Amino acid sequence: MPTDSEPTTDPLVLFGQRLVQLRKERGWSQEQLALECGMARSYLGGVERGKRNIALLNICKLADALSVSPDEMLQFQED
């Protein structure tokens, strides 16, 4: 497990970080995103923390709500 100073390679954490980035770029709270995509805020919180293994259908719902393509959601930033 990486320490705080080591970048993670965990795809769940990387996806969560990307989701937070896209959500914040729009100035949305987790609650606003949950309303826009029809998901529970607590579920989205788990996804953003890298604690939930998100399904492809949910990635597509989030991409639609955020007005991005699903592949853009998987463009993780390298540290």
Q: What is the pLDDT of residue 46?
A: 98
Structure tokens at 48: 């953003």
Structure tokens at 37: 């995509």
pTM for the full predicted model: 0.86
As a whole number of angstroms, the distance between CA 68 and CA 53 comes to 20
Q: What is the pLDDT of residue 6?
A: 73
Could you give the domains of the chain? 11-68 (1.10.260.40)
Q: What is the pLDDT of residue 8?
A: 82
As a whole number of angstroms, the distance between CA 20 and CA 29 comes to 9
**pLDDT in 10s for each residue of the chain, 79 residues:** 555 667 788 999 999 999 999 999 999 999 999 999 999 999 999 999 999 999 999 999 999 999 999 999 999 875 5
